[in-house]
Chains A and B, each alone.
Chain A
């Protein structure tokens, strides 16, 4: 069985093509690793047999001399909020704990068409609502770097799968930071593309105007390879963009032409000083390599979290209405009548955080409150977006911390939703603006816990983010 020590996907691919190893051997090794890391609780479903069958098919394909896909043999894990035909699609919720999808999400079709091997579905905060992966019907996920700590959320399982070498890459989803924050907490790369860059068809919606599928990997190059396969227009998602997809993996940059915006709103008292120090080290590194650091202001940042917690729950309250016990999913037993079926199926099927957000969303959309909350929040969202677009007239990327705090202890914030929400203050504004961002490892804090640096790009400027991220990786290796 091979050691799981591939430097990157191109390294694995080279070994597969040169017959030093096989898809079957690699897949078996990853499946064994998943088994040995079971206590981290990163997976909800493991495709043990199916992945091996697929690996053998791919080995046969290679042997037959047929053209192989761009992600040939890539072992990948998928957040359990993305539909795979004939597989369970739980969204980390009791209400869908026994639900099987009847169709494939567009990203799955694209991954499979390029010969990736799907290992299983990863754990997550219920319906992608949470920042610690403690809101899962299937139990909390542990951070492999310190198992007493949270891995971040909501895509905690996907971040852990990559960090613990249970998969080479994974897909997560990012509505307010759910890829970048767990990437930061687990010391891996996590990218959230521009809104509309990746099709949402087959992604169970939390907040439709924020949700984007993103990628976790050990390095920016692998994330870029996967993103350029899954990105691009999809006729099944009218919010997907028809802009051509760049060659992200090949992106490079001359730092002497790079202007890096440093927003003062991201370096306030809320930021732990040792995290600030780690981030600053990276900024200085970029500067030493020729980049220009430019102070920028994103004046509406302070309203971002409030706006997000009005708009995202509003959309969620409608998106989650379909889970009513009528057609599929959990239905309470012995219901008296229709209302009883609705009330009990939903009360028993949803967890506390999901119910909290449904109630919040229902409230802000209610007649008499709509103008004061939803409409006002939409207006402020526009201002936040304009902050970013204006800043990008002066700079090429914006850089700052991904999270204001280090990975916290399991159970530490479960009873304090507001403290939990604050973990997302630097990631949420990016989803409001719809721009892309990537979190890359940026050393450790004073406890030795991982710190993430967030690079934010202009709309559809993913190539530049990957190029800068690759240079930062070199500094990390030294």
Chain B
């Protein structure tokens, strides 16, 4: 029988506020253990939480960007369970009245030629705090680092609208793109600022009723999400095909063994006993707040892509690539501003820049050539100061230097020679030095022309204006 995947994702996204969700402690990553802590996030007796206004603003932005309804009143709730890295014995989260509900995002399931939009609906987005970190690998004891306690998270819960592992991956990428565009999270999966659980079931193709679902946790990369879901679909298919029944349970993805395994029964079946958090007043979102936040929203990727096509006359595919990340799109636009040439800027950003970022595995923010310098390089190229070959050489030099490209060109004497006399002299010398080739050329072996161009360029250390070489060579060789 042919089966179809039915999946919904729960994505946890760590917000990049400077301070924690309910106290003034720093959220900086990588600090010495238990230094970013205070009576509130350590749950010292008598301490009380106070909601971080920036965290609230961030989740509202996310709700607006994903077409959610923003609740005028919402409440925080306590989610009760015991664990050493949860100092209060409960997590402050949301249960009955989340800030955002009933939204959707669209993912493009098509290819480079043909786009095909698929809507994935969101049940809710709610605000909560992170727990600390349990450290089990120092000797026999378990240690707790409370630096992460109270770091704000949003949880984005989708409907079971996902029908393939590719859709799951595209959805996750879309979520990452949105949070990065909004500037509310760095969206890095490998650092744990984006975490994903999946609810996975299968059903015979054509059947409407859902099958029994399992929940997969511990998927730490885009690849894991796809692999884990693929594995789970196969596993469930085998269970059903062999006449068994899928058991509703929570599974952990083991990325080393590439398999899912059930959590110990102790790790699941919690009764979290949610109830409204009495230490925090209900969250009120006024229409004025909503207006202010709406007006502060950046241009979203789809709108920006369309604008790039219209304004810069770029092919849709190029615009898509350039707007995939807000930072890249910003970089591109800044480059255009300096160079005044959208097509060349697009070629350089999509070519040299993205290739370099990929090779070095860095973000555009860490790239040593800023948009201003790239724009200047493009201007040098367009003005004929450097050839395309030399421009690439200058680009490489710029990565290791802070100098303006014009300075690099001057210091190294890389400027293109457009002096007719100098080129004429070089051409004459080359022709004179290659009498047999000249004869062959004249007797019809016209493809030797390239040989002469190359020799002349070599003679001029590659700095001659290639168009001038061509013109002058043609004139001299063809002259009787």
**CB–CB A99/B45 < 8 A:** yes
**CB–CB A321/B278 < 8 A:** no
Instruction: Give Cα A204–Cα B51 distance, bound, in whole angstroms.
Output: 19
B415: interface (CB < 8 Å):
no
**CB–CB A238/B84 < 8 A:** no
How far does the Cβ of A315 sit from chain B's closest Cβ, in whole Å?
6
Q: Which of B76-101 contact A (CB under 8 A)?
A: 78, 80, 82, 84, 87-90
B275: contacting residue among A91, A99, A235, A365, CB under 8 A: A365
**CB–CB B281/A239 < 8 A:** yes
Residues of A within 8 A of B51 (CB): 238
A342: interface (CB < 8 Å):
yes
Interface size on A, residues (CB 8 A): 44
**CB–CB A322/B43 < 8 A:** yes
Residues of A within 8 A of B384 (CB): none
Most A-side CB within 10 Å, residue of B82, B88, B280: B82
How far does the Cβ of A344 sit from chain B's closest Cβ, in whole Å?
13
Q: Which of B39-56 contact A (CB under 8 A)?
A: 39, 42-51
Instruction: Give Cα A326–Cα B142 distance, bound, in whole angstroms.
Output: 11
How far does the Cβ of A88 sit from chain B's closest Cβ, in whole Å?
11
**CB–CB B82/A342 < 8 A:** yes
Stretch at the interface among A46-54, A113-121, A138-146, A195-203: A195-203
**CB–CB A236/B50 < 8 A:** yes
A102: contacting residue among B39, B88, B271, B273, CB under 8 A: B39
Task: List the B residue with the shortest CB-CB distance to A314.
Answer: B275
The SS class assigned to the B binding surface is loop
Interface residues on B, range: 20 to 34
**CB–CB B275/A322 < 8 A:** no
**CB–CB A96/B45 < 8 A:** yes
Query: How would residues 349 to 365 of chain B score, 1 for a CB under 8 Å from any chain A CB and 0 otherwise?
Result: 00000000000000000
Instruction: Give Cα A82–Cα B47 distance, bound, in whole angstroms.
Output: 10
**CB–CB A238/B279 < 8 A:** yes
**CB–CB A321/B89 < 8 A:** yes
**CB–CB A202/B82 < 8 A:** no
**CB–CB A200/B43 < 8 A:** no
**CB–CB B281/A238 < 8 A:** yes
A318-B90, A321-B90, A327-B42 known; A209 vs B278 contact (CB < 8 Å) = yes
**CB–CB A321/B80 < 8 A:** yes
Residues of B within 8 A of A314 (CB): 275
**CB–CB A370/B275 < 8 A:** yes
**CB–CB B45/A201 < 8 A:** no
**CB–CB B275/A201 < 8 A:** no
Task: List the B residue with the shortest CB-CB distance to A325.
Answer: B84
Task: List the B residue with the shortest CB-CB distance to A201.
Answer: B48
Residues of B within 8 A of A7 (CB): none
Residues of A within 8 A of B90 (CB): 318, 321
A89-B45, A200-B48 known; A238 vs B82 contact (CB < 8 Å) = no
Query: How would residues 256 to 278 of chain B score, 1 for a CB under 8 Å from any chain A CB and 0 otherwise?
Result: 00000000000000010111001
Q: List 17 additional contacts besides A89-B45, A200-B46, A204-B45; criterion CB under 8 Å.
A: A82-B46, A83-B44, A83-B46, A96-B45, A101-B46, A103-B47, A200-B48, A209-B278, A236-B50, A238-B48, A239-B280, A315-B278, A317-B80, A320-B89, A322-B88, A323-B45, A370-B273
Q: Which 5 A-B residue pairings sit nearest by Cβ, starting from the closest?
A: A321-B89, A365-B273, A208-B278, A209-B278, A204-B45
